[in-house]
Each structure stands twice: as C-alpha cells, then as structure tokens.
Chains A and B, each alone.
Chain A
Amino acid sequence: MKDNGESFVTEDGRTIGEVMLDLRDITLRFGGVEAIKSISFDIREGEIRAIIGPNGAGKSSMLNVISGFYIPQDGEVWFHGKKRAPLKPYQVARQGIARTFQNIALFEGMTVLDNIMTGRLNYTKSGLLAQAIWKGKAEREETENREKVERVIDFLEIQAIRKTPVGRLPYGLKKRVELARALAAEPKLLLLDEPMAGMNVEEKEDMSRFILDVNDEFGTTIALIEHDMGVVMDLSDRVVVMDYGKKIGDGTPDEVRNNQAVIDAYLGVAHED
C-alpha cells in the first residue's frame, strides 16, 4: 500500500481519496492519566476507517477529540488540509462532521421525525421572526429539510415509525434512528461509536449493509469503532489499532491481522520477569 498523500486503490479494488482528516501527535490527559499518547493517523476521503482496541484503549476519547468534546493538550488536527483551531462541538458539526454515540443519545421526548430533523438544523437560516409567522423562507426551508429527511428515512427503512416518540422504540431501531439523524446532516465525515454494540446477528447484518450503502451511495467517509472483528475486517478499508492510549498498528485489515503487536494485545502475551 502506498502512502504518498494521494489517492490509491485498495486490495478490494476500491479507490480511496486524499487525506481528509489528519491527526498529528495527539496527546490527551485527564489529570495524571494519559488517555491518548502521541497518536497520529489519517482518514482519507471515501474510505471506511476502523478504530479498534481493547476496552480502555482510548478509542472513544479519540472520537471525542475529533468531534470537539475534548481539546487535546498536545498535537494538531488537520481537516481538509487546514489546521483546525480548538472548536466547540457545534462548530465541528458545521464543518461537516457528524457522529453517533456508544450509548444512544437520542432526544427521547421527540418523535423520530423531529429527531432526524434536528440533523438539518445547520441548514436552517431563517430567523426567529420568520419562524414565528411560519411563512416565506421559514416554511420553504422546513419543506426542503423535510424532503432531505424523508430520503434518509426511506434509505434506512424507518417510514413506519416516523411519528413515534423515540422513547417507545426498541434498541435496534433507536440505533438506526441515531444513524438517520447523523445522515440527515449530510456529513462529509461520519463517526460511528460502536454502531453494532448489543445487537443480534441479524441487526448487525442490517447495520453493516447500511454502513456500506452510506459509504457507497453518498460517498460519505466513515470512521467507526467496533468490537466485532468479523464486522471490522469485512467493512473497513484500513484499521487503526490502539492499546493503552498508544497506536500499535495501522494498515489494511490483512496487515493488521498479521501484526504481532496486535495479536499480543488481543490474545495476551507471556511476560518474562
């Protein structure tokens, strides 16, 4: 695999674009605990990038750095070739980065439709007065946003639960609604934090298909954290492996699978004392 910053073709024959997000020497500390120790990796346009590692490796912290929840003490985040100043999460969202959460973070008191419509908030430009009288620009925007949202609803096959309050939905559907909300924002980069946690095989297959379709049809770049190795190896173009806040492997699924450090981290290794 070449790594010269330009586009290249993977083993599966998929074309991967230029570097979209570049993380350089990211270090994140909580008091005395170093959650992330000087990690660098990149995410390229159009790829599915997996981040794996044992519990507590710092994967979720990494996503939180990307989405602006945590400001790293050291290191730089480059997005589309520009160095990113420390941003608030809502500013990151405006740059075209959307995400889902490990524990579902939906708006329980709102309907599925309203939840997904929140994904369009960044595209709403009409002011308070226009919205108060619900005429002109406000009404037009509402309809446009609704059309976009309906497309996502069709895509994820959740038409039947459109008007249901989210609190009444079963777990698997909630995960899907959360994905829908992120997709409604039409992100360039989609971060998925354990999209298949707690799902049965069938639901995992559905979700995997949706992830591949999103990547394929919308051309969305995806970074995902997942523990199911079968899923990770099948879905992703490239994999980063983390352990105890350090990067111990980076490459195609095959390269990672045969990496001794990765095998040690997952299977354990006999220490010589």
Chain B
Amino acid sequence: MLYREAGDYKTSYTADSQTFPIAFDRYRYWVVLAVSFLVIPFFITDYLVNALFMPFLIYAIAAIGLNILTGYAGQVSLGTGGFMAVGAYACYKLMTAFPDVNILIHVVLAGGITALVGTAFGLPSLRIKGFYLAVATLAAQFFLVWLFNKVAWFYNYSASGQISAPERMVFGVAVTGPNTPAWASYLVCLVFVTISALIARNLTRGALGRQWMATRDMDIAAEIIGVNPLKAKLTAFAVSSFFVGISGALFFAVYLGAVEVGEVFGINKSFLVLFMIIIGGLGSIFGAFAGAAFLVTLPVFLKLIGVDLFGWPTDLVAHLQLVIVGFLIMFFLVKEPHGLAQLWRLAKEKLRLWPFPH
C-alpha cells in the first residue's frame, strides 16, 4: 500500500533518473543508513563485528568492484583475490613507509595502485573474451600471489613472510592493530562501503555505465554508436580494481591485521567473490550487497543451526555449506542469472501494482 509510484510525480529529468525513484525506497534507504551509522555502533560486539559485519562490508566492496567489471562491463575476471592482495600489500607498504599519513588516505591510495595494476592486466581483454579472458585473469591471480611470496621487499623482509598491520589512529582512536574497538573498525568499513556504493551507483547510472553495459550486451553495436572499446574496457578494469583494492586493504589492515598472501588472497577468494555476484545478481549494486550478506551469513547460520542446535559434527556442517553454495550457484545460473537482486526487483514490480494489478 505504501509502495506506490502513483502520485509521486517527477517534474525534472534529474528527479526521474535518481537512484530510488519511489518515495518508499528513498525513506528506507535513509532509515538503513541512519540505523547503520547511529544505532548499530552502540550495540556492536567483538563477535558480531568479526563474524558478520566486517566480512560483510568488506566483501560488499569487493563484490561491487567485481560486479562493475563482470556484471556491468561483461568482462569475466578470476583475478579478484590477486587484486585484493595488491590492495593489501600496497596499503602495508604505504603504512610502513609513511607512518604519519592518515591510514584512510593509505587505503584510498592502495585502491589507486590496484587500479593501475588492474588496468595493466585488463589489456588482454581488448583481444580476448569470455572464458579465455577468465583464464588470462587467472594468470594474474597466480602471478600476483607468487610475486608477493617471492619478492621479500613487499613484506619488508620479515622472517615469517607475513605482513601485519601496525597500530594507526584516526581522530585519536585506533582503527588498526590489536587495540581497535569493535565500533571503530565497523565504522571505518561502513564509511568505505557507503562511499563506494554511491560512486558505483553514480557511475553505472550515467554515461560511463551505459558504455560498459553497451559493451557487455553487444560490443559491435556499442562501437558503431561511438563507444571506444579500449576506453570502455580499461575504465571498467580500473574502477573495478580500485574498489577491489580498497577491499583488500581493509581486509588486511582493519579486519585480519596479519596476512599470509597465499592463504588469504588465493584463488578461493576470487571464486568466493564471483559466487557472491552470481548469487546476488550480476549488474546490480544491491546484488553485490545481497550476495555478500548471503555468503557471509550462511556459514554462521549453518553453524548456529547444525552445530549448536542439532549437535552435528563441525566438518559435516562445513561440507553441507559447500553443497548448498554449489547447488545455489547452479540454480541461479539456470533459473535466474540476475540473482537475488532480480527476484527483489520482480517482487517490487509486483508490489507497485498490488493489490490491483490491472
């Protein structure tokens, strides 16, 4: 009843092209923002932050990044883990080289460095498409992980070969290192997620997003209408890697604190983020959130039900999780390639007219 277009007249093209054209959606958006910024920080605990909120928020940024590349621009990438590693190591090198500069600036710079690396690895996309491009990005994944293991300069010649984040303050509160309060690390991630989502949304609803989608849907027609394929594909790689780099930097500095590259940013990470956007929805910012939320909460939820409630062995639950994710990916690829976001969209479309569809 509340979810209505009727009576909500748009009197300018700006109003018509806004992110949430329906009034109810706009209010909901502000409510969600208000709750996440003003309410949750007061109730958050270490367990909640580490098991749910931080992985959800950080993966959401990675999923937004990959969704720009794969969902909007149609370029399949299996290099997400490698690009996250670039973000993490760039952040580490910047943190240790310039300890006086604000960590937030380092995270953004790490995103910028990843954007450059991503663009370089995006060059093959001008010649190859689809599966072949996926394999080329797979090479990036393995090369980058190998590089960070092999060249000691990247981990400052530490004996363990790991990188670990030193303590850094923002406004007098630690946001990295062991003394970080739960709400601080939560807020840092939340700020980055919010800004990333806004930027991604603005880019995808505007001219650049149309270039990407046109290239995805039919590259020949895109070229004939004036899209430079080189520019479209490389900007997609750059913007996507920028977000992936930021998520990698946060994953290392704020979430884990210490990273061994092969373990954390291996090929599994690439697939995990890819599964997020497949389940959440290709070509949708909301889908990135839905997919990240789903794959982060699923193991927690299963553990709660399986281990704590029914007393099943832990390994059974872990395997059950793989089975469920595998099944869901097949289900979504066959039945609904646009994922949870499309189901949500269809529900909203029905809801607009409910209860009188004619």
Q: List residues of chain A with CB within 8 A of the CB of B58.
A: none
Residue with the highest number of chain B CB atoms closer than 10 Å, among A67, A110, A119, A181? A110
Bound Cα distance A121, B226 (Å) = 7
Tell which of A109, A134, A142 touches B216, judged by Cβ atoms closer than 8 Å.
A109
Q: List residues of chain B with CB within 8 A of the CB of A55.
A: none
Binds A, one of B10-18, B182-190, B256-264, B288-296: B10-18
Contact code string A93-106 (vs B, CB < 8 Å = 1, else 0) = 11000110100011
For A138, give the chain B residue with the smallest CB separation.
B206
A90-B228 CB under 8 A given contacts A109-B217, A118-B214, A147-B13: yes
Tell which of A88, A89, A110, A143 touches B213, judged by Cβ atoms closer than 8 Å.
A110
Tell which of B16, B225, B283 touches A119, judged by Cβ atoms closer than 8 Å.
B225
Bound Cα distance A105, B217 (Å) = 9
**How many residues on chain B are close to A (CB under 8 Å)?**
31
B134 proximal to A (CB < 8 A): no
Q: List residues of chain B with CB within 8 A of the CB of A201.
A: none
Contact present for A106 and B211 (CB under 8 Å): no
Contact present for A128 and B283 (CB under 8 Å): no
Tell which of B12, B13, B203, B229 touches A90, judged by Cβ atoms closer than 8 Å.
B229
Q: List residues of chain A with CB within 8 A of the CB of B199.
A: 132-133
Residue with the highest number of chain B CB atoms closer than 10 Å, among A90, A105, A128, A185? A90
Q: List residues of chain A with CB within 8 A of the CB of B216.
A: 107, 109
Contact present for A124 and B214 (CB under 8 Å): no
Bound Cα distance A142, B15 (Å) = 12
Contact code string B289-319 (vs A, CB < 8 Å = 1, else 0) = 0000000000000000000000000000000
A118-B227 CB under 8 A given contacts A106-B218, A107-B217, A109-B216: yes
B-to-A contact residues, CB < 8 Å: 12-14, 16-17, 199, 202-203, 206-208, 210-211, 213-214, 216-218, 220-229, 235, 239, 283
A42 proximal to B (CB < 8 A): no
A131-B223 CB under 8 A given contacts A142-B13, A146-B17: no
Contact present for B225 and A141 (CB under 8 Å): no
Contact present for A89 and B214 (CB under 8 Å): no
Contact present for A133 and B13 (CB under 8 Å): no
A122 proximal to B (CB < 8 A): yes
A76 proximal to B (CB < 8 A): no
A117 proximal to B (CB < 8 A): yes
Q: List residues of chain B with CB within 8 A of the CB of A90.
A: 223-229
Residue with the highest number of chain A CB atoms closer than 10 Å, among B210, B225, B228? B225
